[in-house]
Structure 1
């Protein structure tokens, strides 16, 4: 039997000087005085601007955006965070998406517990819906009251998307996201997942809360929202490029999801 190398666990570094209780209290006070000399959140935001692939945000108790990292701002054609400070999710996203985000926020506000690694749809650099993990932590005042939320978004790797309830639907979800503009049949999605159409619908509802067809329409509406804000194309062209059969179908589904017509949405959001 070949000789085996036994690796001992690394011992923690010992602090050679132990502080007295009085010294500990004094240094804690000094730290608080030092922190009071600058904007901690501002510097945290600047730090996240240097960490590519991580998107930092902070909201107040009313759900209004207080900080947004620079890389995230680029997805909204915003020059700096002054363009988005004070906006809520309902000002920035389609209503169906904003509602899901707000439900997560309320869970943190109500329970006081963080949400870690939850998978959700967000927008990638091309303005297309993509899968991200989100972590949300409560912000507490000096008196312990929850006054806001700190959050971090990160693009999902294959190892995350293919874990737990996502594993069996990851290929089908990716196909919808990448081919929403064309013809997408539930039977074909089920074949990709190796299950029946009925089983696929159950798995979609368990993991996402929607059916494959509902996710397809949601992705198409999201893509249309982006095009309506950023493009001067006709409504008919945008509808066709986003996978709707005709302008009537486009208008019907758009109004059903957002409560307004594509034309009205464009008038109120063009150039956002």
Structure 2
């Protein structure tokens, strides 16, 4: 007896019912009633607690924190989410960094574009500078008024580690981390990754939001932070071992990105 050939599994697709405008309006109203029944502490921000390496926050129009994920509590070493309510960027961060975050918010309120995975400096749970990918979006009221800002942070390092080891961009990143103190040639870096220089630029901007040159600079700055914390080397020595052309360039870039001079950072790290 011949066995019948296995049937090909059918592809299932959702087929939402066709609704009239009044029916759809009633469903939207039903959703809104349901949403209004949810206690604030049980809103959807709790889902971010299940995503490692991702931090969520929401602020009102006055810049006061209204919601955070539990990971933000760990980042800032506060005991629970309620301890964040009412705090501002200036309560949580060094003044220069807080001012840059507020400037971003003001641009969003003025109708600027949403921030999508822009690289910014934040401090980790040990108070050590770390680069994060930041996304910010406005929060609107039912009347269409912008009443706050919500955002997520993702660790730069976690993002880099998510690349497969044999991925071309992964090879480029590994090379930068091992040779950032040297003068890195972009054409050689592109060949190592298997890309043209233009492709390499696009890949870095797509994945990290910065160019390869900016990635190298940020890597040098983080290394400089480590040297300032853990050694008694002079600023001239640190600028050299971290790949800066001279102490003046080192100090200029450090202040622009960290918000402190190298000496100020060293003193604050030793307290």
TM-score between both structures, scaled by the size of structure 1: 0.59
How far the C-alpha of 1:149 sits from its partner, in A, is 1.8
Deviations 1:206-257, CA, capped at 9 Å, x for gaps: 76786644432233224544776xx464364993797257993643542454
User: Contact 1:129 / 1:219 at 8 angstroms: preserved in 2?
Assistant: no
After TM superposition, list the pairs within 5 Å mapping 1:6-45 onto structure 2: 6-11=9-14, 31=34, 34-35=37-38, 38-40=39-41, 43-45=43-45
Give the structure 2 partner of residue 218 of structure 1. 218
Give the structure 2 partner of residue 158 of structure 1. 163
- 1: CA distance between counterparts of 2:24 and 2:196? 66
User: Contact 1:128 / 1:223 at 8 angstroms: preserved in 2?
Assistant: no
After TM superposition, list the pairs within 5 Å mapping 1:127-166 onto structure 2: 129=130, 132=133, 134-154=134-154, 155-156=158-159, 157-158=162-163
How far the C-alpha of 1:146 sits from its partner, in A, is 0.6
Name the stretch that deviates more: 241-250 or 4-13.
Answer: 241-250
How far the C-alpha of 1:56 sits from its partner, in A, is 1.2
- 1: CA distance between counterparts of 2:265 and 2:68? 24
Query: Is there any run of 5+ residues in structure 2 with no aligned partner, and where?
Result: none
TM-score between both structures, scaled by the size of structure 2: 0.59
After TM superposition, list the pairs within 5 Å mapping 1:222-261 onto structure 2: 222-225=222-225, 231=229, 233-234=231-232, 236=234, 239=238, 243-244=242-243, 248=247, 250-255=250-255, 257-258=257-258, 260-261=260-261
- Change beyond 3 A, Cα 1:94–1:184: farther
Give the structure 2 partner of residue 191 of structure 1. 191
Root-mean-square deviation (CA, aligned residues, Å) is 5.3
Equivalenced residue count is: 249
- Change beyond 3 A, Cα 1:233–1:32: same
User: Contact 2:119 / 2:210 at 8 angstroms: preserved in 1?
Assistant: no
- 1: CA distance between counterparts of 2:10 and 2:147? 47
User: Contact 1:138 / 1:149 at 8 angstroms: preserved in 2?
Assistant: yes
After TM superposition, list the pairs within 5 Å mapping 1:40-79 onto structure 2: 40=41, 43-61=43-61, 65-79=65-79
Give the structure 1 partner of residue 8 of structure 2. 5
Give the structure 1 partner of residue 89 of structure 2. 87
